[in-house]
Homo-oligomer: A and B are copies of this chain.
Amino acid sequence: MAELTMVEAIRTAMARAMADDPSVLVLGEDIGRDGGVFRATDGLLDRFGPDRVIDTPISEALFCGLAVGLGAQGFRPIVEFQFLGFLYPGLDQLINHASRLRNRTRGRLSCPTVVRSVWGGGIGAPEHHSEATEALMAHIPGLRVVLPSSPARAYGLLLAAIADPDPVVFLEPSRRYRSPREEVVDDGHPLPLDRCAVLRHGTDLTLVSWGATLGEVLEAADALAAEGVEAEVIDVSTVKPIDTGTILASVERTGRAVIVHEAARAGGIGAEIAAVLADEGLTSLLAPVARVTGYDTVIPLARLEHAYLPDVERILGAARRTMEYS
């Protein structure tokens, strides 16, 4: 057992999967000798050799297409994108091919790939390095989209994603890469996909989030507890398809929901969750479903990104308004 950072947990999961299954490969830019710009693949080249840890040219559309060909041939390629802002040229392959190959061929061919990408803002990185556009992939039938919120969850979810026989987009919040640490047992046990995790139990209010913002959400839940409000905190984890059952059951008990995400509001995953509440959860709702999100603007460069990202204050504001509503 060890206290690992998230990036270490991710590396540990990849190493474990590669050791257990020779069909697992890693592809991407600077993932070989350099070990990835965030060091997620550090050491893998030495351990598994250049046939399994493959530096690619700067050809993002290509990566996703390679994964389709490799996947159809029985490999399980893990494709790393340095930042989500550089994945967009690969969307065509994800939408038109990776997500459809199984359906198109009635199961004759399939695409068991994991597309990993650094996700989100908060580290003062340059332009295009702070994208939180998980909703784009989540709208695509046939793609799973997973966002881990902690080292242990990253480890287990990534193992599950690699083992999954279909394409999974795995988005890793860079601002949680190095801290906090968490105990991670490298036992090869996956965590279930398509399932929410309840990070904190509560009866007064349901806070729903995923990925990096759960840090702020848990902090807000602590602050609320000090005010006498017991918030349940749900980590959606797989944002497509969403385990709506867990969320509905929670809101049935609390009657109040605040959804928090870093992405722009319009058409974010928060909308889908709120829509499910407005349909299947309507009778439970004692207050409007609030969303605390990034704004529908381009995320600013480093100097103002803090003003864009949902912070504890904004979450608390929404939570208090939701609690006060009657």
Contact = CB atoms under 8 A, between A and B. Distances in A.
A64 to B, nearest CB: 11
Contacts of A268: 139
Interface in A205-242: 240-242
Nearest to A85: B96
B95 A92 contact: no
Given A61-B89, A140-B264, 4 more contacts: A85-B96, A274-B275, A279-B288, A282-B288
A21 interface: no
Contacts of A139: 133, 135-136, 263-264, 266-268
Interface in A69-105: 85, 88-89, 91-92, 95-96, 99-100, 103-104
Interface of A: 61, 85, 88-89, 91-92, 95-96, 99-100, 103-104, 127-128, 133, 135-136, 138-142, 240-242, 263-264, 266-275, 277-280, 282-283, 285, 287-291, 295-298
A104 B298 CA distance: 9
A279 B289 contact: yes
A272 B266 contact: yes
Contact of A277 (B85, B103, B278, B295): B278
28 contacts: A61-B89, A88-B92, A89-B92, A91-B92, A91-B136, A95-B133, A100-B298, A103-B297, A103-B298, A104-B298, A133-B139, A136-B139, A138-B266, A140-B264, A141-B297, A142-B298, A241-B296, A267-B269, A267-B272, A270-B275, A271-B272, A273-B275, A274-B274, A275-B278, A275-B289, A278-B288, A279-B289, A279-B291
Q: Quick one: which of A138, A140, A267, A282 has the most chain B CB within 10 A?
A: A267
A266 B275 CA distance: 9
Nearest to A297: B141
A141 B131 CA distance: 12
In the complex, the count of this chain's copies comes to: 2
Nearest to A259: B275
A270 B267 CA distance: 9
Given A89-B61, A89-B89, A139-B136, A278 B289 contact: yes
A282 to B, nearest CB: 4
A267 B278 contact: no
4 smallest CB-CB distances across A and B, nearest first, come from: A274-B275, A278-B278, A88-B92, A139-B267
Contacts of A288: 278-280, 282-283
A314 to B, nearest CB: 15
A128 B91 CA distance: 14
A241 B296 CA distance: 9
A266 B279 contact: no
A141 B266 CA distance: 9
Contact of A271 (B103, B133, B141, B275): B275
A99 B296 CA distance: 12
A280 B242 CA distance: 24
Nearest to A103: B298
Contacts of A89: 61, 89, 92
A92 B133 CA distance: 12
A89 B89 CA distance: 6
